[in-house]
Amino acid sequence: MGVVRVGLIQMLVEESKEKNLSRAEEMVREAAGRGAGLVVLPEMFNCPYSNEFFPPYAEQEGGYTWQRLSRMAGERRVFLVGGSVPERGEDGRIYNTSYIFDDRGRQIGKHRKVHLFDIDVEGQYFRESEILAPGSRATVFATPYGRMGVMICYDLRFPELARLLVQKGALVLVVPAAFNMTTGPAHWELLFRCRALDNQVFALGVAPARDEKASYVSYANSLIADPWGRVVVRLGEEEGILVEDLDLGEVEKIRAALPLLKHIRRDLYEVREKLQD
């Protein structure tokens, strides 16, 4: 375990896929230029977050967006969590998918959103399940700094998935997400602090910048929570790049001082997860 400099990309998302990819490329370049070794894009960064856009924007793995992401990672020599994009699976269904690349541009992981966002809260209605299919894997990937787990937005609300990622060795939870203006002010910071605290890990939340004219308005506020449950740094609503050093040795230090993961009563309440490795 060592120190990793992370770059969280909070970008505005437009209707033009090409403009979104070009903007992502510019911001990844800037983050890498500031020394980031791990760069993260937001959820659905190449298309507006709306069911009507997911089918026409969906691409198969290895498609145009995948190739652009691979090139960004390889050219800038960064590990890249490519936010998420609509993926047309081999089964013909559409998934909310995050591709992960190493610093040579090779895919080293892939996470399909496990929990679909179906809600009707205070006028905020959304049903991803009308268009999207759920994933079935708990995704952890290896880096020179340590192992990291990926969740996408609504996945964050399920502590069972976060704990499973930690049991698989994750020291950092990377979460491309797009909370809205109802759930964001109420739960965004709280959930990241909780997942970081109860698993003694760093938790990174990466959201699109806020666009008040969009049909779905992102809360933004990309942030980092540390293993003690503190918010280390956060952005506001505007576009921006959050660059911060994470000392992953803090995970081991805090777990040694407060060894709650060793005190888990697996005989009493451990959940038997069925997600695939």
What residues does each domain of the chain span?
A: 3-269
- Helix crossing, 17-33 with 64-76: angle to 10°? 10
Q: Does residue 52 have an active-site annotation?
A: no
CATH number of 3-269: 3.60.110.10
Active-site residue, selected from the candidate residues 17, 87, 110, 113:
113
List, in order, residues 6 or more apart from 271 with CB less than 8 Å away: 160, 163, 164
User: Which residues lie across from 107 on neighbouring strands?
Assistant: 101
Q: Does residue 113 have an active-site annotation?
A: yes
Length of the chain (residues): 277
Give tens-digit pLDDT for 108-166: 999 999 999 888 887 678 899 999 999 999 999 999 999 999 999 999 999 999 999 99
Give the model's pLDDT for residue 119. 80
Nearest 10 degrees: CA dihedral of 42, 77, 19, 237?
A: 40
Cα 5 from Cα 256, distance rounded (Å): 24
Active-site residue, selected from the candidate residues 110, 128, 153, 189:
153
Q: Does residue 47 have an active-site annotation?
A: no
240 in helix, strand or coil? strand
Give tens-digit pLDDT for 30-71: 999 999 999 999 999 999 999 999 999 999 999 999 999 999
Cα 26 from Cα 135, distance rounded (Å): 30
Q: What is the pTM of this model?
A: 0.95
Active-site residue, selected from the candidate residues 17, 43, 110, 128:
43
Give the model's pLDDT for residue 271. 60
CA atoms within 13 A on the CB side of 9: 31
- Helix crossing, 159-167 with 183-199: angle to 10°? 30
Give tens-digit pLDDT for 254-264: 999 999 999 99
Does the structure show a pLDDT above 60 at 277? no
Nearest residue to 160 (alpha-carbon basis) of 277, 259, 275, 268: 275
